[in-house]
Amino acid sequence: MKRIVPYLILPILFCFSCKKEHTATAKKYKVTYNLSGFTQQILNSVSGKKQVNSLVTNSGGAPASINTLYYFVYDATDTRVNQVYQDSTFSNFGSISDNLPAGTYTVVFVGGKAGLNPINTTSTTGAVAAYGINSDTWEDTFFYETSITVSGGDINQNATMNRIVSELTIDIQDQIPANASTITLTVSKDYNVYLFTTQAPAGPIGPVTKTFTLPASVLGTSNYKHSILMLNTTTPFDATITCYDASNKALGQATVTNITLQVNTQTILSGNLFGSNTGFTTTLNHAWDPTTINVPF
């Protein structure tokens, strides 16, 4: 009789084990995120007298165009438990729902243009990389990170998404020669990664050179403007502006040193590129209205 007892116990343990596994399934709560309209704006350069090293305010302009959105959520062990990608072709673009068990989570939103490139996002040591593989190009980009606690009910809160890039604009005030073909802008240092953990630029890749082809309509005119977006809002750098003809002969060149950019701000390099009266001044313009982006969730 004693030999039979262990065999009778096994089915009992098996049933208990199954029951315990079944009841261990955690209840989940709905977490809803609704992305509201983007209100930060790109504005035109300030007209009139330049104010060196000063902040000026402008109005008008076109609303920021954000057509790509990523959502990441990490649990208390810093493991990614969910991610969502949306672009503006989605019928529910800007509306994200998730279901999470009770616990504390880190939530990350990244928004921008097509080609936005989050990397290494399996944990919060992830980052936003420059647009495209091995690229040094930045587009309008926004970021938000917060901690939430899910406990006993659904969540619907508000969040704020902020721009992480800055705009650098050149304003060539003298007349563009009739034989001009291209203008290059070389910055001595930019960054190609924005880290989730530090919420700051990293990974220097400078120098970076951008070439702008001059359309026939600007030849012989003055006050030519062109802009690029940069991530470097932490380290001073130099910028060299050069105009070339079709045979790649330099027609004019100027270098501006010790430039420092600010997040969500336009920095304007303005001056003469041709002739003897060369030289550029630096003006700061709140090109993007400081109003933040509301992201209800």
179-202: pLDDT as tens digits: 999 999 999 999 999 999 999 999
Residue 81: alpha-carbon gap to chain centroid: 23
Return the DSSP state at 26: P
Supply 272's token pair: 């003469």
Residue 269 domain-assigned (yes or no): yes
Span 74-103, mean pLDDT? 90
| Structural domain contains residue 33 | no
Mean of the pLDDT values across residues 242-248?
96
Dist CA 292 CA 38 (whole Å)? 8
CA proximity to 28, closest of 133, 98, 79:
98
Q: Indicate the length of the chain as a whole number.
A: 297
Q: What's the pLDDT at 55?
A: 22
Q: Residue 45: what pLDDT?
A: 32
CB atoms within 10 A of CB 243: 24
| pLDDT given for residue 129 in this prediction | 93
Percent share of the chain, pLDDT over 90:
52
Three-state SS for 120?
coil
Taking only the tens place, the pLDDT of each residue in 154-167 is: 988 766 678 899 99
Exposure of 41 by Cβ count < 10 A (0-12 exposed, 13-18 middle, 19+ buried)? middle
d(CA 185, CA 167): 13
Give SS3 for 239.
strand
**3-state DSSP call for residue 132?**
coil
Is residue 18, in this structure, part of any structural domain at all?
no
pLDDT at position 92 is 77
- Mean pLDDT throughout 274-287? 73
In sequence order, which ranges of the chain are alpha helices (DSSP H)? 5-23
What's the order of all strands across the beta sheet hosting 166-172? 55-56, 279-285, 266-272, 166-172, 224-230
Asked whether the whole model's pTM tops 0.75, one would answer yes
Residue 40 lies in a domain: no
Domain of residue 289: give its range: 49-296
Residue 44 lies in a domain: no
Is 1 a domain residue? no
Q: Is the pLDDT of residue 62 over 80?
A: no
Specify the pLDDT at position 66.
Answer: 78
Supply the pLDDT for residue 65. Answer: 64
Domain assignment present for 163? yes
Number of domains making up the chain: 1
Within-domain flag for 100? yes
Q: What is the percent of the chain where pLDDT is above 70?
A: 74
Q: pLDDT band at residue 125, thresholds of 50, 70 and 90?
A: very high
Q: What is the mean pLDDT of residues 9-19?
A: 40
